[in-house]
A = this chain, B = another copy of it.
Amino acid sequence: MDNIKTDFTDVNTLGEFGLIDRLTTGIENKHSSTIKGIGDDAAIIATGDNQCLAISTDMLVEGIHFDPMYSPLKHLGYKSIVVNLSDIYAMNAEPKQVTVSIALSSKYSVEAMDELYAGIKEACRIYNVDLIGGDTTSSTKGMIISVTAIGEVSPKEIAYRSGAKVGNIICVTGDLGAAYLGLQILEREKQIYMSNPGVQPDLEQQKYILERQLKPEARKDAIKFFKRNNIVPTSMIDLSDGLASDLMHICKASGVGAYLEEGKIPIKQEAQLMAIKFQMDPITTALNGGEDYELLFTIDEKDLERIRYMPDVYIIGEVTDKKDGIKLHTTGGNIHSLKAQGWNHFEEK
């Protein structure tokens, strides 16, 4: 009766993206309303002459994406919404609704769920989205949260991953690497706590870095700026896997290369210092850390002057021809080919 173990190929041999590619091969969309299916931050559905919906979904699994040992449940609820809204913003769309499904084991109390939902409702309030549905059930181990976010966008304003053109300017919002470093601090403190529960960690000094991990924000402001200034990014993606990996998604989808200036990649001083404490190169945490939920986008050169007035945005490179590959011009003056070493959830265990 057991139908699991025949012809066993470990999913690790493919990785997350390899597995998705394999499973979704040959899928063809039948409905004219399906404008964009698998392969971007969100799917796009046409709902009228001049209106589209962006739909995105993400699953957060205890022990893989979060650890309740150090994730306050209120923050976790908040983050579960924000990471999905980030995918909607990455299409240059405005999120309007979310659904939230939760499976939980018996270790979670009603009060724990109250905390989680306090964070979910807080995120809905701050980002102005309606919580319209979901599912609540039990699990045999831990908690699993699945969120679907829905946003509105006019067809002319959609920013796909596939629109980058040679000569476009590569920009990124915010600062990179801190979320990954926050995770390193929390993992370290967990180890200390596990071996000596009497020690209370003093985490106040690392407030910014920890918040970037535990309670990230999505770049609602960027989408507002684009709209106000009549800018439509030629391509856009949110930084969940890391700058290197996510830039590669844009380059692959657009059929282009990229040339990045290491010195222009925004890293906060406290993240730089923390990286060095962990004996890491700060640029590595920025390129490969992931979970920053900033927006990486490209713009036409004509929009360059207007982008300069955009708060908290950094021009980090230029779109090049595909044959030139994806290159990093280091502060030391060398030119490296970029490799993606972003998250692979199948390798984490």
Q: Which of A27-35, A154-162, A242-250, A299-307 contacts B (4 or more CB under 8 A)?
A: A27-35
Contact assessment for A140 and B141 in the assembled complex, using a CB-CB cutoff below 8 Å: yes
Taken residue by residue from 89 to 112, chain A's Cβ proximity to chain B (1 for < 8 Å, 0 otherwise) reads as 000000011010111101111111
Distance of A115 Cα from B8 Cα, bound (Å): 12
The count of residues in chain A whose C-beta lies closer than 8 Å to any C-beta of chain B is 98
| Chain B, residue nearest A348 (CB) | B138
Contact assessment for B8 and A137 in the assembled complex, using a CB-CB cutoff below 8 Å: no
Task: Specify which of B37, B73, B189, B190 is in contact with A133 (CB 8 Å cutoff).
Answer: B37
Distance of A190 Cα from B53 Cα, bound (Å): 45
Contact assessment for A11 and B133 in the assembled complex, using a CB-CB cutoff below 8 Å: no
Q: Which of A55-63, A164-172, A259-267, A272-280 contacts B (4 or more CB under 8 A)?
A: A55-63
Contact assessment for B131 and A24 in the assembled complex, using a CB-CB cutoff below 8 Å: yes
Q: Which of A144-152, A231-239, A316-324, A330-338 contacts B (4 or more CB under 8 A)?
A: A144-152
Binding site for B on A (CB under 8 A): 1-14, 16, 19-20, 22-24, 26-27, 29-31, 33-34, 36-38, 42-43, 45, 47-48, 51, 53, 55-59, 61-65, 68-70, 72-73, 96-97, 99, 101-104, 106-115, 117, 121, 128-142, 144, 146, 148, 150, 152, 189-190, 193, 345-346, 348-349
